[in-house]
Structure 1
Amino acid sequence: MNKEIKTPVWMELSAVGVSITLSRPTEANGVQVDKLHLRAPTVRDVRAAGASAGGDDEQRELALFASLAEVGAKDLEGLTLKDYNRLQAGYFRLVQDDSV
């Protein structure tokens, strides 16, 4: 049985990354934005985020997402929880194995 995962309207997935439309504009790098783009992570990105987090899983994820979106961690901390959850969903959709 092939179970197709429906992509939400606020998510645009490509081979190089995922774009997330935010529920409301926010500031990123000093500019108001209504979308954030996460590029596809490398092993190096994941290792660097882990090394900088000192064992704190939340800090590791925040550092990784900030790196992939090329914004400051403080910018991500200013997101609504709804929009941060969208980033998480986009990231996990981006890294999931399509062959499953």
Structure 2
Amino acid sequence: MTDVSMASPLPAWLSLTAEGVTVTLVHKANFNGVVLDKLTMRAPSVKDVMGAKAAGGGDYEKMELNMFCSLLEATEAELLSLKYKDYKRLSVGYFRLVEEDDM
């Protein structure tokens, strides 16, 4: 699990709205045949969370990977091809998206 402080300001590479989060990548990535320098992840629904948990079968990393695939409309292979730093940025963006700021 990524430790994210909600009190800290957003990093320059992260843009957050109620609808989703956009992450600027350090390394360009190929998604669906398009080379991108930013990825936009939509906000998850309860159904997304339940589906990712079921697909993960108790394995947190697999659950997270399934969740990100769904929210990015990406394949597992595309996500696994990301540099680790960019994957960590997606994780930070996801947790900023789903956690309450005032808790």
Q: Does the pair score TM above 0.5?
A: yes
The equivalent residue for 2:62 is: 59
How many residues are matched?
98
Normalised to the residue count of structure 2, the TM-score between the two structures is: 0.90
Q: Structure 1: 5+ residue runs without aligned partners?
A: none
Deviations 1:54-97 (A, max 9, x none): 22111110000110011111101001110000000000001111
Alignment identity in percent?
A: 47
The equivalent residue for 1:17 is: 20
Normalised to the residue count of structure 1, the TM-score between the two structures is: 0.92
Contact 2:7 2:101 in 1 (8 A): no
> Max radius of gyration: which structure?
1
Q: Structure 2: 5+ residue runs without aligned partners?
A: 1-5
Highest RCO, 1 vs 2 (Cα 8 Å, sep ≥ 6): 2
Q: RMSD of the TM alignment (CA)?
A: 1.2
